[in-house]
Amino acid sequence: MTKKILLQAAIIIASFFLVWFGFSQIDFMKLFSVKERSEKIEHKLGDMIWNQIEDTEDIVTNDTIVKSLDKLLKPICEANDIDRDSLKVHIIKKDEINAFALPNNHLVVYTGLIEDCKRQEALQGVLGHEIAHIEKNHVMKKLSKEIGYSVLISAAGGTKGSQIAKEILKTLSSSAYDRKLEKEADITSVKYMLEADIDPRPMADFMYQMAQDSNIDKNMYWIADHPESEERAKYILDYLKGKKLKSKATLSEKDWKAFQEQVKEE
Q: How confident is the model at residue 210 (pLDDT cuts 50, 70, 90)?
A: confident
Average pLDDT, rounded, for the chain: 83
pLDDT greater at residue 38 or residue 190: 190
Give the Cα separation of 26 and 150 in Å (integer).
24
Q: How confident is the model at residue 160 (pLDDT cuts 50, 70, 90)?
A: low
Residues in the chain: 266
* pLDDT > 80? residue 202: yes
Give the Cα separation of 151 and 155 in Å (integer).
6
Model pTM score = 0.81
pLDDT at res. 7: 55
pLDDT at res. 231: 87
Give the Cα separation of 109 and 135 in Å (integer).
17
Q: What is the pLDDT of residues 47-101, one digit of tens each?
A: 888 988 898 899 999 999 999 999 999 999 999 999 999 999 999 999 989 999 9
pLDDT at res. 171: 80
Helix H or strand E segment including 131: helix 120-135
pLDDT at res. 216: 60
Q: How many helices (H) and strands (E) does the chain have?
A: 12, 3
pLDDT at res. 78: 97
Q: What is the pLDDT of residues 10-22, one digit of tens each?
A: 556 655 544 444 5
